[in-house]
A and B are shown apart, each in its own frame.
Chain A
Amino acid sequence: MNTPFNPFTLPGGEAPTCIEMLQLILDGESTREQLEYFVLHMEQCPPCFQSYEVDMQIRQLLKSKCCREAPSGLKEAIQIKLNGQINF
């Protein structure tokens, strides 16, 4: 059996842990190659799969519940203040 090359492998040849791979993926810092490797890895690693699912669900919650819009009129208030300063 030949193990496919792990693109997460550190320059020193050190094997990455699951958590290290997962964090790189979550943080959006993985290469396309690493992402592809991780998708395959998850199929055989239930802890990674579960963890990834939970993290993605949290992210979705953050996006849907934690993005407050600026109050209406704030943009205009800034523009008015700025115009006042420039003309002054």
Chain B
Amino acid sequence: MDEISRHVYSEEEKNHIFNEEFLPLIHSMYNFGYRLTLDADDAKDLVQDTYLKAYRFINSFQKGTNAKAWLFRILKNSFINDYRKKSKEPGKVDYQEVEAYYNSDEVDRQITPDLRVESLKDMIGDEISNALNSLEVDFRTVIILCDLEGFTYEEMAKILDIPIGTVRSRLHRARQLLKEKLSSYARSMGYKNT
């Protein structure tokens, strides 16, 4: 954590920040934890650990800055350090391959989606959740951060410790993979021309 901008808060200030700024984010934090670990109990532990760490390092949180981005970064780091090994994770993705894909002409042909709004409207069950959970964790993460939590490229880059260009290409690829999954669900639901 950033040692340079260290503040020293009084006990009262600490508790105020924790209770008023950190704890109200519990649902977003839990959802992020759940989508990372894909396990309700692990998510609970991960969120709890994150909050305890957040309190311990609260002096490195600058009041008035984005508490949510700060907490999400701690959660993501805790996940990598403590949980990633034991979670059910498919193999890692070769990002160079992803970048190469993004920079190729192949991308443009994807502008016409192989998916219709009508078939999406019929996905009233767990299809979307299953599709999201089936993505490799790094792709899942950017979808959550952008589409559910509304973080900017800059915030995502900080949370994930990656360059903005990588955020952009990862997000692009993640959306495509999600659509591919949803298209295959649509086909299995009987939509001929998905």
Complex CA gap A58/B110 in Å reads 16
Main secondary structure, interface of A, reads: helix
Nearest-Cβ distance from residue A69 to partner chain B, whole angstroms: 5
Q: What are 7 A-B residue pairs whose CB atoms fall within 8 Å in the complex?
A: A54-B116, A67-B148, A69-B27, A70-B29, A74-B26, A78-B51, A81-B52
Q: Given A28-B146, A85-B52, do A19 and B128 touch, yes or no (CB 8 Å)?
A: no
Q: Is the CB of B168 within 8 A of A23?
A: yes
Nearest-Cβ distance from residue B152 to partner chain A, whole angstroms: 7
- B129: Cβ under 8 A from any A Cβ: yes
Residues of A within 8 A of B110 (CB): 19
Q: Is the CB of A27 within 8 A of B112?
A: no
Q: Is the CB of A82 within 8 A of B51?
A: yes
Closest to B24 in A: A75
Nearest-Cβ distance from residue A26 to partner chain B, whole angstroms: 7
Residues of A at under 8 Å CB distance from B?
17-19, 22-23, 26-29, 47-48, 50-51, 53-55, 57-59, 61-63, 65-71, 74-75, 77-79, 81-82, 85
Which one, A50, A59, A74, A85, contacts B147 given CB within 8 A? A59
Q: Is the CB of B31 within 8 A of A67?
A: yes
Q: Is the CB of B30 within 8 A of A66?
A: no
Q: Given A67-B31, A74-B30, A75-B23, do A57 and B48 touch, yes or no (CB 8 Å)?
A: no
Residues of B within 8 A of A48 (CB): 111
